[in-house]
Chains A and B, each alone.
Chain A
Amino acid sequence: DIQMTQSPSSVSASVGDRVTITCRASQDISSWLAWYQQRPGKAPSLLIFAASTLQGGVPSRFSGSGSGRDFSLTISSLQPEDAATYYCQQAYSSPRISFGQGTRLEIK
């Protein structure tokens, strides 16, 4: 099974800050990576797929990069509504997909 490891597990930042979350796969997954945002009590929402493609309707302040084993999600200018938990997900071994443990983003 492919293990996904996110860091940090939590981060606190101010409105307007640039925030980066990283995700490392236990093996090469090429660009088979997605990022999701999950607000409390809600279902996950797809932000980015294929490592760097922005899902329709997602603000352009979100961006993704990386390939192989190392990936990152960047929020260029943090907004209050970005407070949420973020998950990476690999689809390389679909249907046996797996997620990172999550990064909780708090707004100061």
Chain B
Amino acid sequence: QVQLVESGGGLVKPGGSLRLSCAVSGFTFSDYYMTWFRQAPGKGLEWVSDISSTGGRTNYADSVKGRFTISRDNARKSLFLQMNSLTVEDTAVYYCARDRHSSGWFVDWGHGTLVSVSS
């Protein structure tokens, strides 16, 4: 069955960096756009970034542009999010997700990984 498993979250100081990973199984990873979302504690959902199936096209929310970089390794069936210059506002659970039909609806989600930015 389809599985998305995030890892790499943790506690980091403001200004620090972190790299999140999302390992997938159960579908042909290289066929799909992939997306990162986040959810601050007690808050709603926010789209962060997405990447085309080949990795050639990427998009970012204004709140992370210039600080975060999305990438993928299709051979390893893995999605990444490199997060630099972290601020306390980046504290959130980060989810990777797949748009199964390239339609903007997200059926497949990981369980999330918590990133805490605090001094």
- Show the binding face of A for B, using Cβ within 8 Å: 32, 34, 36, 38, 42-46, 49-50, 55, 87, 89, 91-92, 94-102
Contact = CB atoms under 8 A, between A and B. Distances in A.
Given A34-B106, A94-B104, A97-B104, 7 more contacts: A32-B104, A44-B45, A44-B109, A50-B105, A95-B33, A96-B47, A96-B59
B110 A91 contact: no
B103 A49 contact: yes
Contact size range, B? 20 to 34
Contacts of B110: 43
B104 A99 contact: no
B106 A46 contact: yes
Contact of B45 (A45, A91, A94, A99): A99
Interface of B: 33, 35, 44-47, 50, 59, 61, 95, 97, 103-107, 109-112
Instruction: Give 7 closest A-B pairs by Cβ, nearest first.
Output: A91-B104, A43-B109, A49-B105, A94-B104, A99-B45, A95-B59, A95-B50
Contacts of A36: 45
A95 B35 contact: yes
Contacts of A97: 47, 104
Contacts of B103: 49-50, 91
Contact of A46 (B33, B35, B47, B107): B107
